[in-house]
A and B are shown apart, each in its own frame.
Chain A
Amino acid sequence: MGPPADAASYYGRPVLKAPVWEWGTAAYLFTGGLAAGTAVVAAGADLVGADRLRRACWLGSFGALLTSVGLLIDDLGRPERFHHMLRVAKPTSPMSMGTWLLTAFGPGVGAAALWELLPVRWRSSWPARLLRRLSRVVGLTSAVTAPGVATYTAALLAQTAVPGWNEVRGELPFVFAGSAAASGGGFGMLAAPPAEARPARVFAAVGAAGELVASRVMEQRMGLIREVYHQGAAGRRRRAAELLTLAGLAGTVLAAGRSRAGAAASGIALLTGSALQRFGIFEAGVASTKDPRYTVVPQRERLDAAARGAGLSG
């Protein structure tokens, strides 16, 4: 089925505005997922007493969170007004929901990371012990909100008029959830010794497998927009992401339990795969706004189908 090549348009001008978001927002899709993924690994490691995994992942989560906030603020047109996001809580705005999710998620990660950064000789002092107890409590809120942080970005992209994002709304949350888990687990494998990192490996493997399947299903269900997912930079990044995630998954299952090098290589493959997946999807959406066909053709088809239906019944 070839797409109609010459849908009517106004001099080929786009109907939509291309997103004003730049690479920072695409990068945030990755760092936000990483912050969430590492936070749940850290909280779990705390519960099962895997100290090095816990420490690495709290610090990783905190770093990813700080980077995320920086990227988000930097992509604003008026960065000095970033706190205007906190004026309202709006259920109709995924960005507002995301702001509050991050606000609930952040303090626990911050407190836990602060404790991890304390020099060992201070840890027995009473303020440090208080911080430790506090961070375990708020750290739990972080772990509880982390699944939301990992997946709401799918709603952020899907609830737009951008055909390349809106039309994959059914599958995008699962792609992002898998990608976040793969990156969080991958980070744990990279930063902690294999003996401690088993839960990180399981988490990463489940995430990577989920992402690969969800991404394939997503592609299967696409209409005309499949083009933007296959062509250009977006297509290249998505193909590389799939290969890296697949390689990372194989490495995680076969090698990461036995060798530190294998674990590190698999972790890096998963992290890179996750990042490329986010950039690929972001760019595919941007590309879909630049050609009026992706907007006009599906709408025209819907209208024609409705007219045919009315003709049959009327």
Chain B
Amino acid sequence: MTSRELAAPPDALARANGYEAPPPRVGFFTDTSVCIGCKACEVACKEWNHVPDDGLDLLGMSFDNTGMLGANSWRHVAFVEQQRPLGNQDPGLTGLPTGPSGLDHTSEVVEARLRTAPRGGSELGTTPLPTAPGGGAVQDLGMPTFSRPGEGSGPESRTDFRWLMESDVCKHCTEAGCLDVCPTGALFRTEFGTVVVQQDICNGCGYCVSACPYGVIDRRPGDGRAQKCTLCYDRLHDGGQPACAKACPTESIQFGELDELRERADRRLAELHGQGVPEAQLYGRDPDDGVGGHGALFLLLDQPEVYGLPPAPVVPTRFAPQIWRRVGAAAAAFALAAVGAFGSVVIGDRR
């Protein structure tokens, strides 16, 4: 039997959530191997969904100016510079006096500053990093200058180079931690199998923020409600595709029925492995992983954590039976202590 035959029917998730005759489950396949880091997805998403602007500063992390996903960044393009070749690709640097990436230096500066940020930097998005206490407003991060890196030396200092870019997004988990813990019913499973926050219901309790194992959803400052990618729920209704997928010029972001996307991802992975890129791997493809698989799959060229993704997250809901058993036992002990305390007095008085 192939895995295709073993897989659940394409509308199973929506049916399990009470929809009759739902459309097939849809999602994204983000193939990072063809991402060129143009950020058209970020911009299209902001425009369509009225996601507020939150600054355009570079953050000392290559060409990243979004930091991570958050209330005001529903797509985030990550940039990673590495001193190794990508498959057999020629980076086109032969003969150029190109030295090593400056990222080791900038990372050090960024990391130290993240530690002092109020929420460890998870809230920052595009907000510039706080400078060291007492320091000036802006610190030189060794960021792009008009002279080429390594120009001071010669071609002998040239290193291998590859530039990883990845457009991150809400995973629309099969088992979504955010949705499970939402106490108001604001977060819900749509008929397309996606996860959406109803803005007229959310009261900003913040539980989803801590229940998402990917650090995706967040409360929007000044608004107070939880915000994240809706997979353009409104566009899907009209038979359209999400704004980011529409805007992506390289088809790095592909929208479609999840079943088909999984097949496409498998084919692309085999292709890359055949082309001498053994490090290519799928992320969120496996329906047996800790969240039951993603609605938004990724093809990555390095380990997930290199892109800021958790390597093997588990939805907190899976621990609920164990947790409640322990809570029950603790509650019983608490009650027993109370009964014992008063019982001992009554018995003691009778004697």
Contact = CB atoms under 8 A, between A and B. Distances in A.
A107 B252 CA distance: 57
Contacts of B110: 11-12
A222 interface: no
B326 A173 contact: yes
A146 B335 CA distance: 8
A207 B337 contact: yes
A14 B322 CA distance: 27
Contacts of B224: 76-78
A155 B209 CA distance: 16
Interface in B292-346: 303, 305-313, 316-317, 319-320, 322-324, 326-327, 329-335, 337-338, 340-342, 344-346
A174 B333 contact: yes
Interface residues of A, number: 85
A278 to B, nearest CB: 15
A10 B306 CA distance: 5
B317 to A, nearest CB: 6
A151 B203 contact: no
A16 B122 CA distance: 7
B105 to A, nearest CB: 12
B225 A77 contact: yes
Interface in A124-177: 143, 146-148, 150-152, 154-156, 158-162, 166, 169-174, 176-177
Nearest to B182: A93
A105 B310 CA distance: 39
A312 B180 CA distance: 36
Contacts, number: 288
B121 interface: yes
A251 to B, nearest CB: 17
A36 to B, nearest CB: 8
Given A93-B180, A151-B331, A47 B206 contact: no
B182 A147 contact: no
A48 B334 CA distance: 19
Nearest to B332: A147
A173 B340 contact: no
A78 B226 CA distance: 10
A290 B64 CA distance: 20
B122 A18 contact: yes
A143 B334 CA distance: 11
B212 interface: yes
Please give me the 8 A-B residue pairs with the lowest Cβ-Cβ distance, nearest first: A77-B204, A290-B120, A77-B224, A10-B308, A12-B111, A173-B330, A81-B203, A147-B331
Interface of B: 60-61, 64, 67-68, 70, 78, 80, 106-107, 110-111, 114-115, 118-123, 177, 180-186, 201-207, 209-219, 223-226, 303, 305-313, 316-317, 319-320, 322-324, 326-327, 329-335, 337-338, 340-342, 344-346, 348-349
